[in-house]
Amino acid sequence: MSTTDANAQLDRAMNGKFASVALKVAIYALPFVLTIAGSVVSWMLNDIRSIQAEQGKGLQQVTSDVQVVNAKLDNGVIWRIAELERRLNTVEQAQKTP
């Protein structure tokens, strides 16, 4: 098979009905397909962003709840230490008195 035969086959393939139909479909349908695909991707991104915003609000709520729990625990520990110190002072005072 010579190069002229290959070129002739390639030329026939380029000028064939399937190639011309495929070219017309690509020219006219591709913009619509790309527009629809872009719209779907945009819709999905907006959905993901709204989910992330809801998760961010939930995370902020959990963070504030943890801070409240930490503050309550700190107050409880401080109160317990003060109570133990008061008891220790009472015991020391009792030992000093004859």
Tokens of 72: 């309550």
**pLDDT band at 30; cut points 50, 70, 90:** confident
Structure pTM? Answer: 0.49
**pLDDT band at 98; cut points 50, 70, 90:** low
Q: SS3 for the chain, per residue?
A: CCHHHHHHHHHHHHCCHHHHHHHHHHHHHHHHHHHHHHHHHHHHHHHHHHHHHHHHHHHHHHHHHHHHHHHHHHHHHHHHHHHHHHHHHHHHHHHHCC
pLDDT tens-digit series, residues 37-65: 999 999 999 999 999 999 999 999 999 99
Task: Return the sign of the alpha-carbon dihedral for residues 22, 26, 32, 33.
Answer: positive
Mean pLDDT of 3-32: 78
Mean pLDDT of 69-90: 93
From the list 23, 2, 25, the residue with the least C-alpha distance to 13 is 23
Higher pLDDT, 9 or 55: 55
**pLDDT band at 3; cut points 50, 70, 90:** low
